[in-house]
């Protein structure tokens, strides 16, 4: 006898297993699709982060004073569109292969300088113009930070006493920055690495000219740039000289922007021994007054011909030695012996007074950059009267 049961029909076990498999497949497929979507979203986020630096390029492209400073990549190599000197304002396309050729594949014979994050090479292009190419290396995050700081700072500067950035390039792990070539190297070279040839000697009028030009460059980034720029590494090796000994402030790899209503930026202890203002190691903040201290040390180098930190342990550090001599009223003895008896002692002592104010231990008693510019200009004006 066949018995009929009311209610839900019983389901064969084989059919239940098949439905469970379909359910599992649907769940797995849904998880897979969601995973793909998450990866795509993450990819877009990474791309947006990586291309965030191109805001600098966009800003430069929108800036009529730097409209041709840009780069783009092709499938084969980086192509640089840059403003190269001596090309009558025409854009010059420079491939990465051209850079390798101009530096002889970054041969050590073409090295003309070095910094904390890379080497600087001399490059001569096919059109005869010369460039200095900084090739950054080292720890990736630090290299990227210096590269970004340099491009961000120099993309907003257009001044005759700021070293112009003609272009930049990203090729794999390489970060390249291209500048005008400076025939007379750095102030550090001229003061401390010269030979005994009298023709290589910097007389006082030339040193004063260099100080005036550098002060104008520093005034520009402190007062005229919006936002203001704290350089954080003013020193004689970062003041470059062209064939006419015109001074240019260079190397903005440690620079920071002071946004509106900011008086300082937090900082680690960075810079170069002998130039670092004392407050950097006390309050861990960087201000425009810190740059003033460093520039005061440069002025003392010009006046004394001495390095900030002595090579020999028997010598004294420059700043405390000069301040001690000045307090004893014998500041004339700190002047470079090669400059004494040349008739410029009065000018040099006036500049010395300003330099001593710049390196004052109390940062709030240091002069503003415009006061320094005015002082240096008045020294030159008095001589011409």
Residue 278 placed within a domain: yes
How far apart (Å, rounded) are the C-alpha atoms in residues 315 and 274?
A: 13
Q: What is the CATH number of the domain that holds 83?
A: 3.30.200.20
Q: What is the token pair recorded at 291?
A: 């740059």
Among the ranges given (199-208, 241-250, 322-331, 348-357), the one the predictor scored with the smallest mean pLDDT? 199-208
Give the count of domains, the chain. 2
Whether residue 108 sits in one domain with residue 76: yes
Residue 32 placed within a domain: no
pLDDT digit string, tens, across residues 97-126: 888 899 999 999 999 988 767 899 999 988
Whether residue 340 sits in one domain with residue 213: yes
Whether residue 125 sits in one domain with residue 206: no
Whether residue 287 sits in one domain with residue 162: no
Residue 78 pLDDT > 60: no
Whether residue 299 sits in one domain with residue 345: yes
Q: What do you get for the CA distance between the two ends of the chain, in Å?
A: 134
pLDDT band of residue 190 (cuts 50, 70, 90) is: very high
Strand 165-171: give its sheet, edge to edge. Answer: 111-115, 118-124, 130-136, 174-180, 165-171
Whether residue 211 sits in one domain with residue 130: no
Please tell me the predicted confidence (pLDDT) of residue 356.
98
pLDDT band of residue 35 (cuts 50, 70, 90) is: low
pLDDT digit string, tens, across residues 267-320: 666 778 999 999 887 767 788 999 999 999 999 999 999 999 987 766 789 999
Average pLDDT over residues 180-194: 92
Residue 65 pLDDT > 80: no
Percent of the chain with pLDDT over 90: 46
pLDDT digit string, tens, across residues 215-269: 999 999 999 998 899 999 999 999 999 999 999 999 988 888 876 665 666 666 6
Residue 305 placed within a domain: yes
Residue 10 placed within a domain: no
Please tell me the predicted confidence (pLDDT) of residue 172.
76
Whether residue 194 sits in one domain with residue 71: no
Residue 51 pLDDT > 80: no
| Residue 365 or 254, more confident | 365
Residue 17 placed within a domain: no
135 annotated as ligand-binding: yes
Whether residue 176 sits in one domain with residue 75: yes
With beta carbons less than 8 A apart as the criterion, state whether 227 and 257 touch.
Answer: yes
Residue 19 placed within a domain: no
DSSP state letter for 221: I
The residue among 260, 277, 258, 261 whose CA lies nearest residue 269 is 277
Please tell me the predicted confidence (pLDDT) of residue 313.
65
Domain termination residue (choose one: 180, 198, 225): 180
Domain termination residue (choose one: 143, 162, 180): 180
Residue 200 pLDDT > 80: no
Whether residue 316 sits in one domain with residue 266: yes
Please tell me the predicted confidence (pLDDT) of residue 197.
60
Whether residue 358 sits in one domain with residue 257: yes
What values do phi and psi take at 378, rounded to 5? -70, -30
Domain termination residue (choose one: 144, 162, 180): 180
How far apart (Å, rounded) are the C-alpha atoms in residues 240 and 181?
A: 9
> Domain range for residue 83?
56-180
Please tell me the predicted confidence (pLDDT) of residue 304.
96
List, by residue number, the catalytic residues: 233
How far apart (Å, rounded) are the C-alpha atoms in residues 166 and 375?
A: 33
Mean pLDDT in the chain?
77
Q: What is the CATH number of the domain that holds 244?
A: 1.10.510.10
| Measured torsion, CA atoms of residues 279, 282, 286, 287, in degrees rounded to the nearest 10 | -40
Whether residue 193 sits in one domain with residue 130: no
pLDDT band of residue 159 (cuts 50, 70, 90) is: very high
The residue among 71, 177, 83 whose CA lies nearest residue 121 is 177
Residue 351 placed within a domain: yes
With beta carbons less than 8 A apart as the criterion, state whether 81 and 70 touch.
Answer: yes
Residue 26 placed within a domain: no
Whether residue 168 sits in one domain with residue 199: no
């Amino acid at each position: 006898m066949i018995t009929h049961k009311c209610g839900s029909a019983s389901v064969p076990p084989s059919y239940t297993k098949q439905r469970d498999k379909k359910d599992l497949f649907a769940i797995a497929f849904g998880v897979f699709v969601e995973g793909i979507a998450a990866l795509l979203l993450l990819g877009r986020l990474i791309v947006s982060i990586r291309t965030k630096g191109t805001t600098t390029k966009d800003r430069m492209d929108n800036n009529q004073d730097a409209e041709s400073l840009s780069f783009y990549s092709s499938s084969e190599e980086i192509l640089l569109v840059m403003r190269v000197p001596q090309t009558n304002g025409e854009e010059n396309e420079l491939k990465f292969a051209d850079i390798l050729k101009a530096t002889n594949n970054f041969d050590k014979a073409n090295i003309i300088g070095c910094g904390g994050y890379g080497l600087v090479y001399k490059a001569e292009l096919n059109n005869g113009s010369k460039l200095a190419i900084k090739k950054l290396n080292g720890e990736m995050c630090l290299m990227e930070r210096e590269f970004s700081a340099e491009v961000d700072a120099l993309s907003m500067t257009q001044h005759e006493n700021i070293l112009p950035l003609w272009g930049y390039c990203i090729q794999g792990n390489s970060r390249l920055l291209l500048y005008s070539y400076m025939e007379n190297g750095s102030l550090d070279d001229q003061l401390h690495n010269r030979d005994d040839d009298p023709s290589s000697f910097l007389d006082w009028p030339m040193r004063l000219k260099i100080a005036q030009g550098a002060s104008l460059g520093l005034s520009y980034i402190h007062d005229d740039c919006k936002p203001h720029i704290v350089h954080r590494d003013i020193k004689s090796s970062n003041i470059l000289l062209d064939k006419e000994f015109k001074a240019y402030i260079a190397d903005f790899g440690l620079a920071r922007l002071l946004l509106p209503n900011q008086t300082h930026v937090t900082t680690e202890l960075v810079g170069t021994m002998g130039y670092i203002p004392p407050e950097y190691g006390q309050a861990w903040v960087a201000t425009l007054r810190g740059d003033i201290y460093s520039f005061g040390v440069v002025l003392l180098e010009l006046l004394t011909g001495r390095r900030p930190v002595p090579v020999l342990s028997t010598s004294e550090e420059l700043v405390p030695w000069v301040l001690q001599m000045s307090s004893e009223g014998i500041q004339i003895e700190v002047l470079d012996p090669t400059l004494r008896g040349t008739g410029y002692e009065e000018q040099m002592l006036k500049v010395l007074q300003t330099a001593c104010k710049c390196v004052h231990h109390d940062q709030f008693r240091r002069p503003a950059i415009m006061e320094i510019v005015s002082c240096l200009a008045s020294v030159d004006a008095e001589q011409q009267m």
